[in-house]
Amino acid sequence: MIQATVGERTIDLDLRADGKHPVVRLDGVDTKVDGVQLSPYSWSLIIDGQSHHLSIRPSRNGYQVLLREQTYQVELRSEVQQTVARLGIGIVATSDHGEIRAPIPGLVTSLAVASGESVSKGDTVIVLEAMKMENEMTAPFAGTIGQIFVKPGDTVEKETLLLVIERTP
């Protein structure tokens, strides 16, 4: 089960096969889908007999989806990411400084920011791989990246201080 967040709305998605065609269960309702990829970011889909052109591009916090001349920001969460969020594992923040700590042991795969860079609440700041899953760590508030204690390729233990965000006044 994948969870998609579009704006303020959260949608449950379940993908499965029904013969030759994939079936998408969207908020508990089955929808038959057929389509063809036109380019790396573009698809032509037939959903319940209606034709749709869809463009999906990766963005800093998920994907930008263009459908019917409307652009939507979409964030996807796997079952593991949903469980991590439910358990409250993730960012630890203090009143003026946001200490981003590793929620579980893992490998730092990328830093999305540099020291001194401004970030908005929810921006991805670091990606940690654990159990073959990439976990995006996000800014708990708007601020400026302070000290960074790790680099891509570093292996970290649970609760390791990764970086600090200083709150914007």
Pick the CATH number of 80-167 from 2.40.50.100, 2.40.10.10, 3.40.50.2300, 3.40.50.300: 2.40.50.100
Of residues 7 and 55, which shows the higher confidence score?
A: 55
Burial 108-138 (b: 16+ CB within 10 A, else e): beebbbeeeeebeeebbbbbbebeeeebbbb
Pick the CATH number of 2-77 from 3.30.70.270, 3.30.1360.40, 3.40.50.11030, 3.30.700.30: 3.30.700.30
Cα–Cα distance for residue pair 128/9, rounded to 1 Å: 26
> Which residue ranges make up each domain of the chain?
2-77, 80-167
Q: Which two tokens stand for residue 41?
A: 């970011």
Query: Which secondary-structure segment (H or E) carries 86?
Result: helix 79-87
pLDDT in tens, 108-162: 999 999 999 999 988 999 999 887 788 888 888 899 998 899 999 999 988 888 9
Mean pLDDT computed over every residue of the chain = 82
Tell whether pTM > 0.75: no
Running DSSP on this structure, what letter comes out for residue 140?
Answer: S
Tell which residue, 155, 59, 41, has the closest CA to residue 112. 59
